[in-house]
Amino acid sequence: MNQQSFYEDGSRVLKPDAFEFVLASELKRAVRAQSFLTLITLEARRVWDGLTVAADDGTLAELAELVSREVRDTDPIGQTDRGALGLMLLEADPHGGSCVIGRVMSRIDNYRFSAPLSISIGAASCPTHAVDAEALKREASSRPMISARRGVHPGTTTEGL
């Protein structure tokens, strides 16, 4: 697999298969080295024709670009196999993950997305919450720390979100 096939076009966002591969590899390394790895998931939904639907790839790319400004270049970002945006914080314990979530939410609060979004952010750490990829993803998505409506343009309403 060449490096270009790992990433979404023109970004540092890993494709779902690549994200899963890197997550599994980094978890093995974290367990072996007895270090932390915190997984943060951002699930974005938007209203379309009166229905709330999962955000499209363009919206996830916009969110990834915004979030990438708040994490280290060495922290992988990618789409999970569940359609969420995932951030792997290498060598970060749960407290470090909480600090990053605070910075990400501050950035999101001050940004106007192209369409109104409902964003849920969850987090789980290895080894605190799980030591394998499936369990860590399940823990992160089942433990939302923040759920908010964001990106409403001036003159619009959040009713119905």
Supply the CATH number for residue 96's domain: 3.30.70.270
**Helices and strands counted in the chain (H then E):** 4, 7
End-to-end CA distance of the chain, in Å? 40
**Looking at per-residue confidence, does 21 or 116 come out higher?**
21
Does residue 79 lie in a domain region? yes
pLDDT digits (tens, 9 = 90+) for 6-44: 887 777 899 999 999 999 999 999 999 999 999 999 998
Does residue 115 lie in a domain region? yes
Does residue 43 lie in a domain region? yes
Q: Is the pTM of this model over 0.85?
A: no
112: tokens are 């106007």
* Residue 130 structural domain: 12-149
**Looking at per-residue confidence, does 106 or 152 come out higher?**
106
**Which residue bears the tokens 């970004």?**
11
Domain total for the chain? Answer: 1
**Which residue bears the tokens 């990106």?**
151
pLDDT computed for residue 153 by the predictor: 36
Does residue 3 lie in a domain region? no
